[in-house]
Amino acid sequence: MCTIIAVANQKGGVGKTTTCVNLGIGLARTGKKVLLVEADAQGSMAISLGIQEPDELDVTLVNFMENAINDEDIEKNPERSSLSEGIIHHAEGIDFIPSNIELAGLEPSLVNVMSRERVMSNFLMDLKAQYDFILIDCMPSLGVITINALVAADSVLIPVEAAYLPVKGLQQLIKTIGRVHRRLNPDLSIMGILLTKVDRRTNFARDISEQIREVYGDKIHIFKNCIPLSVRAAETTAEGKSIYLHDPKGIVADGYLSLTQEVLSDEGK
């Protein structure tokens, strides 16, 4: 059984891409087959995985979604079978589908598409048999592409920076997830809230962390281990590799290893 996890927060800069990449590679290091899907036009995940110029890629998420929109059969359309070449293999054991600026142009065109919220779900159905986990890196918005990710997902992992404004916007995201659960995807659940960029030296970060646990802890799982604030984590983007290779003995690598084990435990895998 393949588990699809959407990594989502409409606030940018909270560590969605870093979490998606390092959780995905963490799962792969345990022997799981993992696909990462970049549902963000900024191309940050592609860059983090070593693609220097995402805008120059010939095949991206847009091509997969356009084929799903056109309902093209792989067996009848050789061009669609060539999309498998658009799934890039990374040296650390994961596959990924990148995105670039073209995704921003696709979003408004989805308005007139029948069952527009299910386009991503439709093409991922063809890929689920090949993987244990599919992780979707959502864009920092609650637009139709993010709704597509939530409809395709089994659960949502919410990275939240231990700061006032990101926490303030959390309620809106939870309401959106609830709306998708009621109207479009009754199987959708919240896997948990992951506290990121936690500066353990400050009382403020500790206060914010405690506030999240007090407000949401009774209703939503809060991951036991947070991801500490670290310059080393930011450096991985330029390196095109995970924190496990860049700083294997650091506190961030420990944080993502703990997250990986908790996700495996929650999923019973």
pLDDT of the residue at 164: 66
Residue type, 164: Y
The pLDDT assigned to 91 comes to 95
Please give the Cα distance from 250 to 255 (Å, whole number): 9
Task: State the Cα–Cα distance between residues 217 and 230, nearest whole angstrom.
Answer: 25
pTM (2 decimals)? 0.92
- Confidence class of residue 75 from pLDDT cuts 50, 70 and 90? very low
Q: What is the pLDDT of residues 52-71, one digit of tens each?
A: 999 999 999 999 999 888 87
Residues facing residue 155 across a β-bridge: 5, 189
Domain residue spans of the chain? 3-267
Two tokens, residue 157: 């992992």
Domain 3-267 has CATH 3.40.50.300: yes
Cα–Cα distance, 178 to 171 (Å, whole number): 11
**Beta carbons within 8 Å of 238's beta carbon, 6+ residues apart:** none
pLDDT in tens, 126-141: 899 999 999 999 999 9
Per-residue pLDDT, averaged over 144-153, amounts to: 97
Alpha-carbon gap, residue 16 to 241, rounded angstroms: 16
Element (H, E) at 174: helix 170-183
What 8-state DSSP symbol labels residue 6? E
**C-alpha–C-alpha distance, residues 10 and 140, integer Å:** 4
